[in-house]
Every structure is written in structure tokens, then in C-alpha cells.
Structure 1
Amino acid sequence: MDVARMAIARAALDELRPGEVVNLGVGIPTLVADLITAEHRITLHSENGMLGVGPEPETGGAMDYPINASKVPVTAMPGASYFDSATSFALIRGGHIDTAIIGGLQVDEQANLANWAIPGKPLLGVGGAMDLAIGARRLIIAMTHNDRDGSSKLVPDCTLPLTAAGVVDVVITELGVFKFRNGRLTLVKLQPGHSVEEIQQHTEADFDIDL
């Protein structure tokens, strides 16, 4: 188990509210599904056409279970429903998703998000990320704090192609939790074992501190 990725997923779960309809994007966000229980009273939506997504099954594969947007087999919660992609995106674009948790390549000081294209690498298309970024009532970005080369993913200005502008509400990394408050990126929580000084050292973006 990747400790850093699970720390991000647990912090993302802490941000969710009972009764919400939540969409989990590919990658780290899908880990949240395995942490949700019936007591959380959270309904998970998958953009490929499922409402009421449950955790990954202990045994069996895609021939035995439905899959989520990451092509991972999942179980269905009681009362789950299935529908076509057009209906699924109508839910997203119609403002019926309370919170979306998706990954990120860059988030900047203006709450802009870039998460779909890296120059020089094959492009798979923006997928549903743009719809979720604009359509969800609240947008949480779950991502590692730094890229593989050590560069900060929290930057003064995005240099990668934008997914959407001014849409990010919360950013969760393995180092801490940030929220945009009064137009300012603000560190509101430290992940266990990490410090403000460490975060400052690994972050290019300017941010306030309100712990």
C-alpha cells in the first residue's frame, strides 16, 4: 500500500459531508471509495454511468462486477442504479454532483487547474475532467505535492494547458490540506509527520497559513 496516496485519500474523505453525491476521478481519488462505509451516508457517482458505487470486491474481476471510471471492478451499494453516459454527464453538467475529487498536475494561486495534458507526451483528451471541474458544486484536488522530478505542483501560475479556470476549492497532498479562502491559497491542515517548514520548502506557490 502506498502510504502517501492513502494519506491523501483519508484526508479527502474527511472533507466529505453526509448526504453528498460525490464523483471520484481516476487515480488517487478512487482510493476514497474503499474507505467509505454506509455510516458516511455518501453516494458515489462514476461518470461511466453508475450511482451508488461501492468498494472494490475482495475477489473477482470485470466479468463479475461493474467497473468504475478507472476501469477497476467495484461493488454496488444497496439502491445503486446504472445508466448511459449521456445521462451520467447530464447529472454532472446539471449541477447534481455535490463534490468532485479529481487528480491534478498543477494548481495555481488563482485556483486554476491543469490536469489533462503534458507537452511532448501523448494526449488522451480531457475526458470528463472539464465537465466535473465546472459542473460540480465543490472541487477537491487530490494529488502528490511534487512531480517525479521534484517540481512543485502548487505553482504561482499554471504552465500546463488548463482544465478549468478559478474552480479549485480544496487541494489535498501527502503534506497538507489547502483551501482557497478570500481568493488566497491557505494551508489549513498538516498531514501527520509533516511541518510548515517542509511544505514551504516544497511549494512554489505563495500561500497563507491558518492551522
Structure 2
Amino acid sequence: MTYQRLTRDQIAQRVAKDIPEGAYVNLGIGLPTKIANYLEKDKEIFLHSENGVLGMGPAPAPEDRDPELINAGKEYVTLLTGGCFFHHGDSFTMMRGGHIDICVLGAFQVAANGDLANWHTGEPDAIPAVGGAMDLAIGAKKVFVTMEHLTKSGESKIVERCSYPLTGIGCVDRIYSDLAVIDVTSDGLVVREVVAGLLFEELQKLTSAVLINGIHA
């Protein structure tokens, strides 16, 4: 059987389905910011950005862009009714104080025990980019990761142990890749969903860490 990898927008759309009513959510730079465009309009969800914004909506149309209304990734955003701005220090207090229900981050690697590496590949010419990821990784109640399952050279990003510098230890709760949805549990990595046409055995061959088949559990 053949299978089709999810696009970045499809990954974002899938994550959006799992964000519950009333959640305070931080969307990391890159792919995670796309999630804002797929949240159900009848759900009240509070999107937070570490530069001091709460209550963001989907991306604006080009003609509606406001240069003073951006997220931490310097992308244009909209502000929903009741949204607000506040000091950068207060924003990090929210993150460090356990007031964020879910944060969604990108990753270079995720380990079988939930370790996260997403700020530096360790390469001499790479530009480190910590941002608020370390604060979010330990401060958010749940950490979701969105990423392509493989690197451009075909190596698994899901590994038994991270080889890149860590962002957080044992912090990841769920992985959303372009091939599968995987929970990080005390028993190991449990596969909950795979893309149509992909067998569990094929997914395991593409993954460096040991997987548990939880699709029919």
C-alpha cells in the first residue's frame, strides 16, 4: 500500500482538534503557529505569545496586517475580542508559573522518554535559537511537538536518546508528525494514529526508537 505524508498545514489542523475549550495555549515559532488558523470558531481558546500577547486569533489578510500586532516569531496576528497586551516579564511569569495548559513546539529530536531537543543541532555554523522554549517545556502543563518524522537526509527525528543539546528533560507528552500521532507514556512511545496506507511495521522501520502499537487498543 502507498501512503501520503501530511502537509505542514494538515499537521496543524490535526493538532487543533485536540485543543480543548478554555485552554491557554502557546504556539511555538514555525509550524505550530499555523494551528491558530484551524481552531474551531465556537471554542473559546486563549492563545498566548511570549512577547506579551494573550487572545490571538488567526493570521490576518495581507491588507489587514498591523506592524504593531505580531507574535514572538515576528509573524502578523489578529487579536480577538478581549485580547490584551502586557509586559514581557509578566508573559514569562505565566509560562514559568504553570499557567499555560498546552504549548506546541517544533523539534530537531524527541527521545523515547520525552526529552526534547529543539534549539541547537550542535553544528559549529548553526545559529542557536532558544527563545522561550526552555521555559515552556518545563512550565506548560502539556507539551505537544509538531515535526516531520524524518530529517531531509532521511534520519529519524524520534530517537532512543537525543544526540543534540536538550531543551527539556522528559517534557514531551505527544508527538504529531507527518506520519503519525504518538503519545509519550511511562510504558514507552505509543502510536495512536498513522496516515492512511501506512502500516505500523513500516512506521517502526522509519523510527529509531521502539514503538508500541496502540492504534487498536
What TM-score, normalized by structure 1, do the two folds share? 0.94
Quick one: which of 191, 200, 205 aligns to 2:204? Answer: 200
The one-letter code sitting in structure 1 at the alignment partner of 2:69 is P
1:9-28 correspondence to structure 2 within 5 Å:
9-28=12-31
* 2:158 match: 154
Residue 193 of structure 1: how far off its partner (Å)? 4.3
Contact 2:158 2:209 (8 Å CA) reproduced: yes
2:142 matched to 1:124?
no
Runs of 4+ in 1 over 6 A off after TM superposition: none
**Are the structure 2 counterparts of residues 41 and 56 from structure 1 closer, same or farther at C-alpha, using a change threshold of 3 Å?**
same
- Mapped to 2, the partners of 1:186 and 1:76 lie a distance apart of 37
- Mapped to 1, the partners of 2:212 and 2:53 lie a distance apart of 39
**Are the structure 2 counterparts of residues 41 and 174 from structure 1 closer, same or farther at C-alpha, using a change threshold of 3 Å?**
same
2:72 matched to 1:69?
yes
Contact 2:17 2:39 (8 Å CA) reproduced: no
- Mapped to 1, the partners of 2:150 and 2:122 lie a distance apart of 18
- Mapped to 2, the partners of 1:61 and 1:48 lie a distance apart of 21
Q: Cα deviation per residue 1:38-74 (whole Å; 9 max; x = unaligned)?
A: 3122110011110001111112375455011221111
2:146 matched to 1:181?
no
Residue 129 of structure 1: how far off its partner (Å)? 0.4
- Mapped to 2, the partners of 1:11 and 1:19 lie a distance apart of 18
Contact 2:106 2:147 (8 Å CA) reproduced: yes
1:54-133 correspondence to structure 2 within 5 Å:
54-60=57-63, 63-64=66-67, 66-120=69-123, 121-133=125-137
* Alignment RMSD (CA, Å): 1.6
* 1:51 match: 54
Residue 125 of structure 1: how far off its partner (Å)? 3.7
SS across alignment from 1:33: helix
Contact 1:62 1:72 (8 Å CA) reproduced: no
- Mapped to 2, the partners of 1:69 and 1:134 lie a distance apart of 18
Contact 1:46 1:68 (8 Å CA) reproduced: yes
The range that moved more, 161-170 or 193-202, is: 193-202
Q: Cα deviation per residue 1:5-61 (whole Å; 9 max; x = unaligned)?
A: 112111211221111000000111001011123312211001111000111111237
Runs of 5+ consecutive residues of structure 2 not aligned to the other structure: none
SS across alignment from 1:87: helix
- Mapped to 2, the partners of 1:79 and 1:149 lie a distance apart of 45
Contact 1:7 1:191 (8 Å CA) reproduced: no
